[in-house]
Chain A
């Protein structure tokens, strides 16, 4: 329902920024920090309305930081993010986020968690939903993720996969323009992961107004199963990107046998290995540099 743009976005950790603060020079800008200390380096991105984008890369490549900036949890050091025509300023109810850990509140029953999200969205967006309506929507979305029976269970009574189902139900039930996912299936076993990937693709497709989705993962197959477009990140840069032109829904058993999948997977793996090598190069260079000095 909304496009998303990143314009020359850079980011450095606060500790790093503090190092460049002096008494005279209190506001640090991107230009003050050497490029190798930036976590995100001048990123430009356009995500179309209704597009499913996957960010893939090694741990530490900056993909989660990118997502946190899009979620409004962190402020970019330079550049800006736009949603539609609005510049982004902190968290907002035009986005909902699914995290990997503690994706739902452990002291609320499954349904209460979903209702909480709907109520927050309703308040912020002035939808003025009644209590009964909120409960109805919660039931509807719990049914969509096959969790009707678990509505009155606490998260500790649910498996990791079931907890993520509830988290997905909450994110979708909030009916926001953009969906953000930070490795939501990263802690699940392969079988549960496949189930949830299928479920998510189905839910995303069945939505009459397809939502813009940005999904961070380090799982190559997962990215290929879900994405319209994949961006490979390395060292705080968008290194490479390509589209995945395959019909949906993508049944893993069929899709994994297609040439589209095989080629793209081989290419992604190559990118991973190449990124690994440059990482080695960098540390080697640093070691030599230290020895010389």
Chain B
């Protein structure tokens, strides 16, 4: 193991010890501090993933110091948060809740948070998958037929940059339920960029490849299955990753207008009651969900982009 990681390992664990020392040895100034269990579990998880990244990932990682640097920042934030929050009581009691209280939300409301995440994922994935499928299929068709491309490429260029949230008023009236309106907002937000990128990709099929398929007398089904689909897959997967971010943004917006569940609803609801511990817990949940989804789409991209 390189020297640099060793020193990082030492520094990060010194900081971790300092953090634990502060948590357990310093008396609280604040009176409304929750049990420390949730925070300790969180710290254990962070340490676990850090060690995992360090020992499993350092061989392939071009910047092995990266995870060590990140962990230093994380522990410093925790220490600062503990100090200005519960221990010294410098920060505002409501705006900066104690870390104990924030992580206690995960313990006390675990089932509730989980159900909300599930509800969000349901909305997100329905809209995202439908939007992607429609975008890809229609994109391939419109990209391949010159006349359709001439019609829909300019139209797509107009609609793609418009955030789908502006259609909300109509969608709420047209769609049978709020949930479907929310799904439509995500669907439209994901559809246009994917549609546009597929039109461009199919249109950019190199003429030399088209010549090759012609001299090999490739028929239409073979053309689609063996040439066009393999050709667009790298761009499609790249698009999946980008539109995941778009989809998540749309989700957060969609859940704030009519939903009765979901993580976006959780946050906006907590906002109404100025329950900042719940807001922070919601934001952390969002971060974790996005990380997992990003990781999955990254894996998909690696798995299926084999030819370049």
Chain A residues with Cβ under 8 A from B209's Cβ?
102, 105
Tell yes or no: A116 within 8 A of B by CB. Answer: yes
Chain B residues with Cβ under 8 A from A97's Cβ?
211-212, 215
A-B contact count (CB 8 A): 61
Tell yes or no: A267 within 8 A of B by CB. Answer: no
Chain B residues with Cβ under 8 A from A66's Cβ?
none
A71, A96, A101, A120: the one within 8 Å of B218 (CB): A120
**Chain B residue with the shortest CB-CB distance to A182:** B211
CB of A91 within 8 A of CB of B215, answer: yes
Q: Chain A: interface residue count, which band?
A: 20 to 34
Tell yes or no: A93 within 8 A of B by CB. Answer: yes
CB of A105 within 8 A of CB of B215, answer: no
CB of A120 within 8 A of CB of B216, answer: yes
A96 touching B215 in the complex, CB below 8 Å, given contacts A107-B230, A116-B226, A154-B307: yes
Chain A residues with Cβ under 8 A from B30's Cβ?
none
Tell yes or no: B4 within 8 A of A by CB. Answer: no
Chain B residues with Cβ under 8 A from A68's Cβ?
211
Q: How many residues of B contact A (CB 8 A)?
A: 18
Tell yes or no: A103 within 8 A of B by CB. Answer: yes
CB of B208 within 8 A of CB of A102, answer: yes
CB of A99 within 8 A of CB of B217, answer: no
A93, A104, A105, A155: the one within 8 Å of B227 (CB): A105
A99, A107, A116: the one within 8 Å of B307 (CB): A107
Per the bound structure, the CA–CA distance linking A68 and B233 in Å amounts to 30
Tell yes or no: B206 within 8 A of A by CB. Answer: yes
Q: Which residues of A contact B (CB under 8 A)?
A: 68, 71-73, 91-93, 95-97, 99-108, 116-117, 120, 124, 154-156
**11 CB-based A-B contacts, threshold 8 Å:** A71-B211, A73-B214, A73-B215, A91-B217, A99-B211, A106-B308, A107-B231, A116-B226, A120-B216, A154-B306, A154-B307
Nearest first, the 9 closest Cβ-Cβ pairs linking A and B are A107-B230, A102-B208, A107-B307, A97-B215, A120-B216, A101-B208, A154-B307, A91-B215, A102-B209
